[in-house]
């Protein structure tokens, strides 16, 4: 029986495992976490809209329904492609086929000060840490006598105007405006300040211009300051310095300005390209190793003269393709080259407001928001998770209330 090993159980690894289930092969999925994380909703955990458990699902609960699929909780340390061996923490796994789906990490572009002082959203604990920081800032501001320091505590700088930055900015603005202003009546004279810094001249660069303008107008109506053509040069514990000599006193910085390949890519003996990603063949394999597939954010593939973006839909389609390709190869058949089919892009801005592109058309406002809600519920793993997320959204929509306002850990050294 052929053995397929999948390194990583994100969107790509999950789809690959599902495609291989019940196909007469032994499938071993390896991940350092025992759960699949729905990363698109991490910002809602950070802004007290959802409990962290509602966007994660145990991997063993997923694969137990899939024939021939098994799970190993371990860190992937490297691979010997010539010997067809995968090195994991404390063990070695032999394979006939390997799918590398390790994903990406935040790219701070060598800015050590930002890496030390800024928060990001790639893991579940990151969202909880950021939520703690936001709520703790309000608690400290409530007893702070110095007006300047109080304003700095209630100033939040967001770096990067992509979908994550825009969605987080909108959610944070609503949290401050509708919820925390009621929780902290002693702060009525100090309005929280949210600053979104974008190095280019537009937000949501992948969207059409009319949707970009809609997003900017909506955010500004919500009280978010949007700064274009500027970039953060350095960060300190209580302030942020921008390129054009602007200084913003702030205790909370959120970085969403880019991602790069996961560290595993650097430990693999293959050529790397931009962002540390691995260049793959049109069938998603590594040159010289037709049994090794790379999918998701780790894979670098040119299509229509542009590299495929590091987004979940690409990872899902590549994972599905890799699984089907292995099944076909095992049966002595061949597969056509991989081709990504762009079904559309969307981002939510706030209550009843979102932007979306689909089937060559642009959508904004309430209709786009409803579609955004439906698709995220559909792709979320677990019936219980879907129900709880839907109930949280409905409760907030009807009562302007967010229940997960919990400071779960006091962390030193991040203020």
Q: Where are the alpha helices (DSSP H) in 259-365?
A: 312-330
The closest of 131, 129, 123, 57 to 388, measured between CA atoms, is: 57
Measure the CA–CA gap between 4 and 398, rounded to whole angstroms.
48
167 assigned to active site: yes
- Give the CA-trace dihedral at 210, 211, 213, 219, to 10 degrees: 160
The H or E element containing residue 246 is none
Alpha carbons within 13 A on the beta-carbon side of 364: 14
Residue 122 token pair? 């790639």
Alpha carbons within 13 A on the beta-carbon side of 227: 18
**Active-site residue among 51, 129, 144, 167?**
167
Measure the CA–CA gap between 162 and 204, rounded to whole angstroms.
5
Cα–chain center distance at 135:
22
What end-to-end distance do the CA atoms of the chain give, in Å?
54
The H or E element containing residue 155 is strand 155-159
Q: What angle do CA 86, 91, 94 make, to 5 degrees?
A: 40
Query: Which residue in this structure is represented by tokens 């003996």?
Result: 269
Measure the CA–CA gap between 263 and 270, rounded to whole angstroms.
13
Give 173-176's long-range contacts (Cβ < 8 A, gap of 24+). Answer: 173/219, 173/222, 173/223, 173/224, 173/350, 174/47, 174/222, 174/350, 174/351, 175/47, 175/48, 175/49, 175/134, 175/402
Other C-beta atoms closer than 10 Å to the C-beta of 126 total 16
Q: Which residues are catalytically annotated?
A: 167
């Amino acid at each position: 029986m052929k053995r397929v090993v999948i390194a990583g159980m994100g969107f790509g690894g999950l789809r690959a495992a599902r495609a291989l289930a019940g196909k007469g092969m032994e499938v071993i999925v390896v991940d350092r976490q025992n759960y699949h994380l729905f990363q698109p909703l991490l910002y809602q955990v950070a802004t007290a809209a959802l409990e962290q458990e509602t966007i994660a699902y145990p991997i063993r609960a997923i694969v137990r329904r899939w024939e021939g699929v098994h799970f190993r909780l371990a860190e992937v340390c490297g691979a010997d492609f010539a010997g067809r061996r995968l090195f994991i923490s404390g063990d070695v796994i032999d394979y006939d086929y390997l799918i590398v789906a390790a994903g990406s990490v935040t790219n701070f572009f060598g800015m050590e000060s930002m890496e030390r002082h800024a928060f990001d959203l790639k893991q579940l604990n990151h969202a909880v840490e950021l939520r703690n920081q936001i709520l703790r800032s309000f608690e400290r501001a409530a007893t702070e006598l110095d007006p300047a320091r109080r304003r700095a505590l209630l100033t939040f700088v967001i770096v990067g105007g992509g979908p994550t930055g825009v969605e987080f900015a909108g959610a944070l603005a609503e949290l401050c405006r509708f919820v925390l202003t009621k929780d902290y009546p002693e702060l009525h004279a100090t309005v929280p300040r949210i600053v979104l810094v974008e190095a280019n001249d537009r937000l949501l660069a992948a969207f059409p211009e009319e949707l970009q303008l809609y997003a900017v107008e909506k955010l500004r109506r919500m009280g978010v300051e949007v700064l274009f053509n500027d970039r953060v040069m350095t960060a300190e514990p209580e302030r942020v310095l921008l390129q054009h000599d602007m200084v913003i006193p702030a205790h909370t910085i959120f970085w969403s300005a880019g991602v790069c390949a996961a560290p595993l890519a650097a430990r693999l003996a293959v050529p790397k390209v931009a962002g540390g990603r691995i260049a793959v063949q049109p069938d998603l394999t590594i040159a010289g190793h037709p049994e090794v597939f790379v999918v998701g954010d780790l894979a670098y593939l040119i299509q229509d003269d542009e590299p495929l973006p590091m987004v979940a839909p690409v990872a899902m389609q590549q994972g599905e393709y890799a699984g089907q390709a292995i099944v076909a190869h095992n049966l002595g058949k061949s597969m056509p080259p991989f081709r990504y089919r762009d079904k559309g892009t969307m981002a939510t801005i706030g209550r009843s407001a979102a932007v979306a592109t689909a089937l060559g058309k642009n959508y904004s406002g309430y209709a786009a928001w409803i579609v955004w809600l439906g698709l995220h519920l559909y792709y979320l793993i677990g019936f219980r998770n879907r129900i709880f997320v839907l109930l949280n959204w409905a409760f907030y929509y009807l009562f302007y209330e967010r229940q997960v306002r919990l400071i779960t850990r006091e962390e030193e050294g991040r203020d």
